Amino acid sequence: MPFTALGLRKPITDALEELGYETPSPIQTKAIPAIMEKRDVIGLAQTGTGKTAAFTLPLLDRLSGDSRTRTKGEARVLILSPTRELAAQIHKAVKEYSKNLAIRSTCVMGGVSIKPQIRALNAGVDVLVATPGRLEDLAKQGAIDYKTVETIVLDEADQMLDIGFMPAIRRIMGACKNIEQRLLFSATMPKEIKQLTKQYLKNPVEVSVAPVSKTADKIEQSVMRVNAGVKISAVIHILKSHENKRVIMFCRTKRGADKVVKRLKHEKLDAAAIHGNKSQNQRVKALEAFRNGSVPILIATDIAARGIDVPGIELVINYDLPQVPEAYVHRIGRTARAGASGIAVTICAPEEEDILRRIERLIKIQIPTMEAPADLPMPAPLPRGIKMAGNNRGKPQRSGRRPPRQNSTVKKGAPKKGKAPSILEKAMSAVDRAEKEGSFANEGNFSEPQKPKARNRGNNNSGNKKGGQGRRSGPNAEGGGPNSSNKRSNSRPGNRNNQSKRSNNNF
């Protein structure tokens, strides 16, 4: 059945034809008619089944037939996404599907400047794609008018629950008083999501295809059992045996992802990481490099698992097994999309066997074992000085050489390199030592700096009048104490600035 049979307007079907979409997927076939009838819908489908088009196409069709003047802060359709990557992906799809329509849309998310987002909302939009946190920030600044929202869409609702967005979702839905239609799409239906649907959705139509417990048929799955210490060696072995393939690898933690990138780069394997500690610009740059092929290996955490829609991913590696078995299906669903085939390899340590058994019970198959090489080496320590990828939050990375002291200062009165100390420099050093030892009798009672006079070398009475001729030691030495009348320390030409600076420092 073609898209034209679903009743979509010609500008939309023409855009789909240009994108190469010929027939709707099962979730699209079931959801689009119900959404066009303005029914509340619950869509249950795993990742990669076409959920984004299932709700964006009918909403764009409706907006194109009801053009009106936009007001400040207006957003007729609000689409909420758990991650920045997924929000950007949805907005990209909206722009592509509405290229032949007079539809205005924007995407707001954290990690980037809020000012352009405020300017876009001031002009009013038809479709707003947002992450919950940034949306609430904009609402506090008065940039979004919740009363103008007619349709609200919750995409990947179960992931929003996992991240902890449910309180924000309830606040947002409670603030949208004039909602006419509510759409919820999720891969699973936990108890909290069921409660949410009962509270906010009215007589919803439930559409369910491809349950989350079922993996794609064209994914060749296998598990390699190794000790945790040689996991990285096993990964390097797999990557070198699948050269020139686009690979995505999943780690459990952000720090672990950065460590894997560091090791792969040491092995001359170009890789980039994407996780929550990265700035938005870094995440966009890494994803774009992976998409255009300049970086063939992408290391990600589960937060990014559902927000990455890159065609042509041939290999998925589970470096760490996920704590939630359903996440395994979402991970390997990055490959074998749109009818293609793919490979999924899981690296399993002995302590992860329980998680592996739970995954196999969920997908109802026993994952075949891949024989691990017998000579996998323990990874050698990396050379010092290699920086960690990412924002380097936490302890700073040390290089091989000890860095110079940042707060080191030149000692007052110290002679310049390669030049013998002058009489004045010796005298100033003596003053410094006397100050440290506290040997001044009238400390703090310094006189104003005196104007230097020309030195009279022929007059023996030009020295210290109290002590006669010659040089003396102690606090009243030449150039010494605060009440000293010896003019010799000020008599050298060119030393006026030094003397003034010396005196001013004591006030």
Q: pLDDT (tens digit, 9 = 90+) per residue, 14-61? A: 999 999 998 999 999 999 999 999 999 999 887 777 889 999 999 999
The pLDDT tens digits of the residues spanning 64-121 come to 988 778 899 999 999 999 988 899 999 999 999 999 999 999 999 998 899 999 999 9
Confidence of residue 384 (pLDDT cuts 50, 70, 90): low
Give me the domains of the chain, ranges plus CATH numbers: 3-208 (3.40.50.300), 219-363 (3.40.50.300), 422-439+448-454+464-496 (no CATH)
Q: Which of 167-171, 376-380, 482-486 has the lowest mean pLDDT?
A: 482-486
Share of the chain above pLDDT 90, in %: 52
**Beta partners for residue 299, in sequence order:** 249, 273
> What is the Rg, in whole angstroms, of the alpha carbon atoms belonging to the chain?
36
Runs of H (alpha helix) within 400-466: 423-437
Q: Between 40 and 443, name the one with better pLDDT.
A: 40
Confidence of residue 434 (pLDDT cuts 50, 70, 90): low
Q: Between 301 and 471, name the one with better pLDDT.
A: 301
CA–CA gap between residue 445 and residue 477 (Å, rounded): 17
pTM given for the model: 0.66
Name 303's Cβ contacts closer than 8 Å, sequence gap at least 6. Answer: 83, 163, 275, 276
End-to-end Cα separation, the chain, in angstroms: 90
For residue 38, what are its two tokens?
Answer: 């303005």
Residue 106 dihedral angles phi and psi, to the nearest 5° = -150, 165
Q: Give the mean pLDDT of 393-411.
A: 47
CA–CA gap between residue 55 and residue 483 (Å, rounded): 89
Residue with tokens 């023996």: 460
CA–CA gap between residue 307 and residue 85 (Å, rounded): 5
